[in-house]
A and B are shown apart, each in its own frame.
Chain A
Amino acid sequence: MLAQANQAPNTGARASDAPKRAPFRWGFLSSLAVLLVLTFSGQALIALLRPAFMAGKGAYIAGGPGALLDPALYFEALSKGPGGALRPALLGLFLLASLGWTWANRGAVQRYFTAMHTGVVTVSLSLLAVAAGVMIPQIDPVDDPDARVMAPGVPGSNYEQHYQQFRFAQSYFLWHLLHLYGFGMPSGEIPPQAVAGLERRADRYGSEEAKNTEKQMRAAIAGQQKGQLIEEFATRNDRALRGFFDFSSRFELNRIYRSYWFASLMGCLFVAIAFNTFKGGPQRWFKVQKLGFFLVHVGMLILLTGGGLSRSCTERGIMHLYKGGLDEERDGTYDRRDGDIPPIEDTFYEHFTADRLARMPFGVSLEQFARRDWLALVVRFNDDQGRANPPTHTLWKGRRIDLDYEYLDAAGRVLETNADGDPIDASGVLLAREELDKRPRLRIEVLSLHDQAEVGEPTVREAQPGERPAGEDPLPLAILVLPDYQRILNSGQPGPGDQLPTRKVYFSPAAGEEFEVRGFADPLGSFRLLTVAEGDPRAAFPPSEGQLGEISYRIAAGGERLDGRLPVSIGQRLPLPGGYEILFQKATKSYREDPVSGQVLADERPLAEQAFVAPAVTATLYGPDGTSEVRVLHDRRPSARQRSREAPLALDAVELTLEWNEWFAPGPPRFVLGWSRASGGGLAAYIEDEAGQRQTAALGARLPLPGLSPVQLESALLDAVVEPRVEFLDEGVVKGPGYDPDFYVEAPRGVELRVISDPELPERRREQTVRLATTQEGNASFWFPPRGDLVVQFIENRAMMPFEWRSVLALHEPMPDGSWKPLDLGPPAQREIRVNDYFQYRGFRFFQTNAIPEAPLYSGIGVVYDPGIPWVLAGMYTVIAGAAFAFLLRPILLGRKPASPSA
């Protein structure tokens, strides 16, 4: 028919009667070729149009949405560069021509974008782009979207820094690729000397803990060896790696997701999806067969729209906030009301230059911040001190921790152990731990945890017979009630009817040699009292030889540190190591300086008559080279620091610390307080003076001492057990969600434990309840069990990530006069940030990003302004709904299996 038509001359056949050419059938390669052209064309177009986009952003910042409608703005922006005004004209022509051609060939364009091969190729190319991003380390810091690798020679270049990261990352990957399945990989063998430690760990903390430690050791050892091998690999291949790095930088393969070609590819994906989503008209979209897929495609369109908005309009930053600080001067520097914290520049404000879309039109300060760490127990066995890191057991209510295992034979009897702690049989043969049954000797159960604990007055009692471990000395203890002169000074002299403020003080002759722990001197200067233990109390009265105490010295000489002590005696010139000498010239018990002139206000009375307020000794230190300087040595204050506000010390290699001993120094009359078991049972206490005169001291009564200070002996014990008393002020730990003011209360945290000895032996099982608090006060964070071979410590585990951190922000409006007016946004509950629950205000989202344990007032707050977020989230939810409908619901609704091939 075609031949006949061709042969018939002048038949008048019109062109429209000729058979139409079959439309081009797109294949994978042809689709790919066109897609690549479109992608790179789009890249060029974006680069060319970017100045107009930035001009629009700037105009929007300056003048609001209305400013976007000025065409001259864009014309001017596009005119910058080669060609001048010709550029926008040519660009405009090109765009018009492209649009015209597209309209004229809309059928072909539609066929291209609706072809299956095009869809597959577009998705596949996107997939490859993302895959490339995974195979090449990306430089895409969140707060600087335009970050690029700079040229190597440029001052301040980041080239080398980024190359080193690239080098390691690629070497790590390639090295592992060449060592699949462990071929040639270091195996991380445990050194033999560590095996015994692992066995001991199993004995103490259980075999699971020991096995995990072993696995971690292997990984660490292998990792270390592997690291060296990877570094060697990187060094050998440095040239090739550098070439690859330069190639990646040149084609922006290390910032794929911020590149124009990726944005262009996403644009093509958007167009392809759009063409396929809306074909067939609304009557087709909402059919059960199509609805799910329609929703998925619509969701993708919304998602990509949001992604485009995010890409072009997002602003991010981090604010380093300290409690109470505010940017008073609007220079990006947060001022601190507390002068000790240095100002830190806020990177978020740094980020705001004139070409940024969003600037925060309000000030932000940190009203409240708190961090909660995980509560944990650390159990240390005395035998392991310095040899092993004990595990940290995180605590939660109901947790059970078994410790200190003993091994059993087949009959359930406890096996003996050798000197190394290894289980042995009756004939001394070593037995394998893995084959033996075992049971714990100690079990700790967590009864409750608390966020607010208070350490009260400790309970003191006599030790039960056998309670003190063998070999440990008894602890005699006297509890005295003394006037609280500090409170009296602060609040004024009490009236005639008022009760004198008092304080309870514990003294023990076994607590040490220092006078302060064994006795005290009356501030009114009437007496000195010392507690004594067994033996002749008169031995406590040393003959007075003018010794006022001791100095401890630390001398840096010849690269060494020399420590020692010397007795302090006025008028004595004593040698020190390193060729130094010291001459003690005078002493006072009430050293004072005029706060204005700095002049020393000397107390000229004899030492014995001076009030024991601020003892100090004036001494001259002589150096080996003949130099000398006068030093005033204050009680328990190292001399190197005391003059820090004045000129530095000449002989600064010598540090001297005075330890005044008020019991030895001249002073008021001395008395000793002693007690012992009375013949008829009970306790007999006495006061004895230096002359040997003894008087009975009754419990609960005022001691027969001279002067006005009433000192009462509340109790005396021969062998005291002191247990810190911990009270809990709340019901339990604060748990989210929701604002809780208790979270910000600064208080020690507490735990109540049930400790069971021999938990699996009914005949020997013993339970006790122990309360601990995370404070050094009263040693409340430690528990020393009676068995004496271990210590349990209760801590807030700051070594790892915290349990939670929260901040409450305050926002402030800038006033025309430069001041800040607080914005009323409601109670703290409305302004709190928790991790996974950010705070939002006027399009700005504030989230918790980090904190520093050493800086408890600091909170790192991330800020983001991203108008694309709602779009993207909506798109994602729509895609999920569509996928669920298409693959799960659709087969059920249609009553058919999903295997039917329906396009």
Chain B
Amino acid sequence: MEPSALFNFLDSDVPASMGWLRGVNLLALLTTLLAALSAWAHFGRARRRVDPLGGGEPLATRAMWWTLSAAVLTMAISIYHRWIEVNHFPSQTMSEVLVMFSGALLLSMWVLHLALGLRRNHGYGWATVGDALVAVVCAGSLATNAYSSSLTTAQRDLPPALQSYWFAPHLSALIFSYATLGIAAAIGVVYFAARFWSQTLAGERPRLGRGLVILALAALLPLVPRWIGPGLSADRGVGHLLAWGGLTLALVALVLGLRFGLRKREAAGAALLFGTLTLLPFGQFLTWPVLVLVGLVFCGLAAARSLPSAEVVASLERTMDQVSFRAFAVGFPFLTAGLFMGAFWAQDAWANYWGWDSKENTALISWLVYVVYIHLRMLGGYRGGKAMGVLVAGALSIFITFQIFGYLPDSQKSMHRYTDDGVTPKEGMQGAKPEADRQAQAQAPERSPAAF
């Protein structure tokens, strides 16, 4: 994808909404870079044990806050323009929905950054974590916008079922919850990444074993660019070579790592981790970048012989656990409300609050995963890795509901597939027998809104 297609907000040849969206991309990129600088500055202050309540924030932190705020505002303007351009709440096509999700990510991050007050409450060490989170979320927003620009932006007319007062609140609640719960999962991913690197770099294991783990990780990096979009299809030959080459190298590295002292359990864990990250689209744009980012930080610390102690890491994990729960606590009621608003809407449209459509089912599965999470945490005392693993599973389920659902077997007859780009909507008439009037079948209304 050409940079101008992402960042050239002065291009007069694109609709106003797209121009403003490119401005968001620029601000998101800037915020990511500033967040990285802010993390570095906070980390320095943490090492020098500067009083978190005395003195002002580093310049990079203040700039980061302003660019994040500007990104949120610019996104709101972009969405407003899109609303004008399509004459309805802009969440009908997949590109529109993705832009809404990207905006929700930025807004959630903005709210969480204020609400968590990591520097205020926990010091510069936690502020570093907070900055890392801002970087990850802004990068995620940029990546989402980049992907959405590969999809058609054509205006589509709202079918009658979508002209309902439930349209906006249902989608807004769900998209906001997706963003918030996504951030909760992102915290979990940071947690796992920190744990992985601290265990890999610390301890008595031979350097060669550890080095081979890192090599295996690096060898799989060529697979990462796959998510960028169809633009890379022209050089699929090179990409294939790199990918298969990388996988082979990673396997060899892990085997050698076992030979040179890597424990079997860790090797198995690493293999599972790498395999999962490689195969899951989820891993492409969330887990890999986080793993690399956190890895850079820890490798830098290891090089400076300043790796945090086990107690510090444990404390880090405890706080990340609490922060992820807070993010979950904000998102879960909205997920509940959004899920059931879809039922209310379906009831208004077809007097059928739950049709066991695959979109409804995948959304229900996501909700149930979080119900399991609440019970495990509140009744079972699950904390740390166990609890955050469930959060990540929940976010994975949301991702499947949001993006992968169209490929699932039961989705072929789903009425919700109109949001999938390139797929002819299945407009089966509700209640029709297979041998019913063909004309009537061809004219059936699209069913319920995107019950995310």
Q: Which residues of A contact B409 (CB under 8 A)?
A: 134-137, 166, 169-170, 172-173
User: If A142-B355, A803-B160 touch, does A208 touch B436 (CB 8 Å cutoff)?
Assistant: no
Give the CA-CA distance A126 to B372 in the complex, in Å. Answer: 11
Q: Which residue of B lies closest to A347 (CB)?
A: B433
Q: Mark B333-353, 1 if CB is under 8 A from A, else 0.
A: 100110010011101111111
Interface residues in A, total, Cβ within 8 A: 109
Q: Which residues of B contact A679 (CB under 8 A)?
A: none
Q: Which residue of A lies closest to B383 (CB)?
A: A901
Q: Which residues of A contact B356 (CB under 8 A)?
A: 133, 138, 140, 257
Give the CA-CA distance A520 to B436 in the complex, in Å. Answer: 53
User: If A208-B14, A850-B429 touch, does A169 touch B412 (CB 8 Å cutoff)?
Assistant: yes
User: If A804-B163, A872-B353 touch, does A144 touch B433 (CB 8 Å cutoff)?
Assistant: yes
Q: Which residue of A lies closest to B234 (CB)?
A: A187
Q: Which residues of A contact B354 (CB under 8 A)?
A: 307, 872
Q: Which residues of A contact B380 (CB under 8 A)?
A: 116-117, 120
Q: Which residues of B contact A866 (CB under 8 A)?
A: 351
Indicate if the CB atoms of B445 and A835 lie closer than 8 Å.
yes
- Residue B248, interface by CB 8 Å: no
Indicate if the CB atoms of B157 and A394 lie closer than 8 Å.
yes
Q: Mark B389-414, 1 if CB is under 8 A from A, else 0.
A: 00000000000000000011111110
Indicate if the CB atoms of A165 and B351 lie closer than 8 Å.
no
Among A180, A804, A838, A876, point to the contact of B351 (Cβ < 8 A). Answer: A838
- Residue B15, interface by CB 8 Å: yes
Indicate if the CB atoms of B14 and A219 lie closer than 8 Å.
no
Q: Mark A296-322, 1 if CB is under 8 A from B, else 0.
A: 000000000001000000001110100
- Residue B371, interface by CB 8 Å: yes
User: If A181-B281, A222-B422, A437-B12 touch, does A123 touch B151 (CB 8 Å cutoff)?
Assistant: no
Give the CA-CA distance A176 to B151 in the complex, in Å. Answer: 19
- Residue B309, interface by CB 8 Å: no
Give the CA-CA distance A116 to B155 in the complex, in Å. Answer: 49
Q: Which residues of B contact A134 (CB under 8 A)?
A: 358, 361-362, 365, 408-411
Indicate if the CB atoms of A835 and B157 lie closer than 8 Å.
no
Among A140, A835, A887, point to the contact of B329 (Cβ < 8 A). Answer: A887
- Residue B66, interface by CB 8 Å: no
Q: Which residues of B contact A207 (CB under 8 A)?
A: 13-14
User: If A141-B431, A887-B330 touch, does A130 touch B364 (CB 8 Å cutoff)?
Assistant: yes
For A218, A318, A438, A854, the residue with the greatest tally of chain B CB atoms inside 10 Å of its CB is A318
Give the CA-CA distance A294 to B155 in the complex, in Å. Answer: 45
Among A172, A318, A836, point to the contact of B161 (Cβ < 8 A). Answer: A836
Give the CA-CA distance A676 to B261 in the complex, in Å. Answer: 108
For A182, A307, A866, the residue with the greatest tally of chain B CB atoms inside 10 Å of its CB is A182
Interface hits, A196-223 → B, CB 8 Å:
207-209, 211-212, 215-216, 218-220, 222-223
Interface hit among B48-56, B70-78, B225-233: B225-233
- Residue A34, interface by CB 8 Å: no
Give the CA-CA distance A120 to B375 in the complex, in Å. Answer: 7
Give the Cβ gap from B110 to chain A, nearest Cβ, in Å. 18
Give the CA-CA distance A116 to B376 in the complex, in Å. Answer: 7
Give the CA-CA distance A405 to B67 in the complex, in Å. Answer: 36
Among A176, A183, A860, A888, point to the contact of B240 (Cβ < 8 A). Answer: A183
For A127, A207, A801, A805, the residue with the greatest tally of chain B CB atoms inside 10 Å of its CB is A801
Q: Which residues of A contact B333 (CB under 8 A)?
A: 880, 883-884, 886-888
Indicate if the CB atoms of A898 and B329 lie closer than 8 Å.
yes
- Residue B369, interface by CB 8 Å: yes
Indicate if the CB atoms of A898 and B440 lie closer than 8 Å.
no
Give the CA-CA distance A899 to B354 in the complex, in Å. Answer: 34
Give the Cβ gap from A738 to chain B, nearest Cβ, in Å. 13
Indicate if the CB atoms of B430 and A862 lie closer than 8 Å.
yes
Interface hits, A793-809 → B, CB 8 Å:
797, 800-805
Give the Cβ gap from A591 to chain B, nearest Cβ, in Å. 40
- Residue B381, interface by CB 8 Å: yes
Give the CA-CA distance A470 to B444 in the complex, in Å. Answer: 49
Give the CA-CA distance A505 to B353 in the complex, in Å. Answer: 60
Give the Cβ gap from B108 to chain A, nearest Cβ, in Å. 14
Indicate if the CB atoms of B326 and A898 lie closer than 8 Å.
yes
Give the CA-CA distance A848 to B429 in the complex, in Å. Answer: 11
Q: Which residues of B contact A165 (CB under 8 A)?
A: 412-413
Indicate if the CB atoms of A869 and B353 lie closer than 8 Å.
yes
- Residue A897, interface by CB 8 Å: yes
Among A168, A347, A879, point to the contact of B436 (Cβ < 8 A). Answer: A347
- Residue A124, interface by CB 8 Å: yes
Q: Which residues of B contact A847 (CB under 8 A)?
A: 349-351
Give the CA-CA distance A848 to B161 in the complex, in Å. Answer: 10
Indicate if the CB atoms of A124 and B431 lie closer than 8 Å.
no
Q: Which residues of B contact A805 (CB under 8 A)?
A: 160
Interface hits, A572-604 → B, CB 8 Å:
none
Q: Which residue of A lies closest to B337 (CB)?
A: A880
Indicate if the CB atoms of A187 and B230 lie closer than 8 Å.
yes
Among A133, A182, A801, A903, point to the contact of B361 (Cβ < 8 A). Answer: A133
Give the CA-CA distance A364 to B439 in the complex, in Å. Answer: 23
Q: Which residue of B lies closest to A223 (CB)?
A: B422
Q: Which residues of B contact A902 (CB under 8 A)?
A: 378
- Residue B152, interface by CB 8 Å: yes
Q: Mark A801-821, 1 if CB is under 8 A from B, else 0.
A: 111110000000000000000
Q: Which residues of A contact B163 (CB under 8 A)?
A: 736, 804, 835-836
Q: Mark A368-392, 1 if CB is under 8 A from B, else 0.
A: 0000001000000000000000000
- Residue A851, interface by CB 8 Å: yes
- Residue B62, interface by CB 8 Å: no
Indicate if the CB atoms of B325 and A438 lie closer than 8 Å.
no
Q: Which residue of B lies closest to A344 (CB)?
A: B437
- Residue A161, interface by CB 8 Å: yes
Give the Cβ gap from A539 to chain B, nearest Cβ, in Å. 55
Q: Which residue of A lies closest to B425 (CB)?
A: A801
Q: Which residues of B contact A84 (CB under 8 A)?
A: none
Q: Which residue of B lies closest to A864 (CB)?
A: B351
Indicate if the CB atoms of B332 and A883 lie closer than 8 Å.
yes
Give the Cβ gap from B419 to chain A, nearest Cβ, in Å. 14
Indicate if the CB atoms of B337 and A901 lie closer than 8 Å.
no
- Residue A143, interface by CB 8 Å: yes
Give the CA-CA distance A897 to B281 in the complex, in Å. Answer: 34
Indicate if the CB atoms of B429 and A318 lie closer than 8 Å.
yes
- Residue A131, interface by CB 8 Å: yes
Q: Which residues of A contact B151 (CB under 8 A)?
A: 215
Give the Cβ gap from A892 to chain B, nearest Cβ, in Å. 11
- Residue A150, interface by CB 8 Å: no
- Residue B306, interface by CB 8 Å: no
- Residue B87, interface by CB 8 Å: yes
- Residue B315, interface by CB 8 Å: no
Q: Mark A767-792, 1 if CB is under 8 A from B, else 0.
A: 00000000000000000000000000
Give the CA-CA distance A852 to B150 in the complex, in Å. Answer: 35
Among B369, B422, B444, point to the contact of A850 (Cβ < 8 A). Answer: B444
Q: Which residues of A contact B351 (CB under 8 A)?
A: 838, 845, 847, 862, 864, 866, 869
Give the CA-CA distance A899 to B322 in the complex, in Å. Answer: 6
Q: Which residues of A contact B164 (CB under 8 A)?
A: 836
Give the Cβ gap from A302 to chain B, nearest Cβ, in Å. 13
Give the Cβ gap from A509 to chain B, nearest Cβ, in Å. 46
Q: Which residue of B lies closest to A216 (CB)?
A: B152
8 further contact pairs, Cβ within 8 A, besides A835-B163, A836-B349: A123-B372, A134-B409, A218-B230, A801-B160, A880-B337, A883-B332, A887-B333, A903-B379
A-B contact pairs, 10 of them (CB 8 A): A143-B432, A181-B226, A181-B284, A223-B422, A394-B87, A835-B161, A862-B350, A862-B351, A887-B330, A897-B326
Nearest 6 A/B pairs, CB to CB: A219-B422, A835-B160, A845-B351, A801-B159, A181-B226, A116-B379
Interface residues of B (CB under 8 A from A): 12-15, 18, 87, 150-155, 157, 159-161, 163-164, 166, 223, 226-227, 230, 233-234, 236, 240, 243, 279, 281, 284, 322, 325-326, 329-330, 332-333, 336-337, 340, 343-345, 347-356, 358, 361-362, 364-365, 368-369, 371-372, 375-381, 383, 407-413, 421-423, 427, 429-434, 436-437, 439-440, 443-446
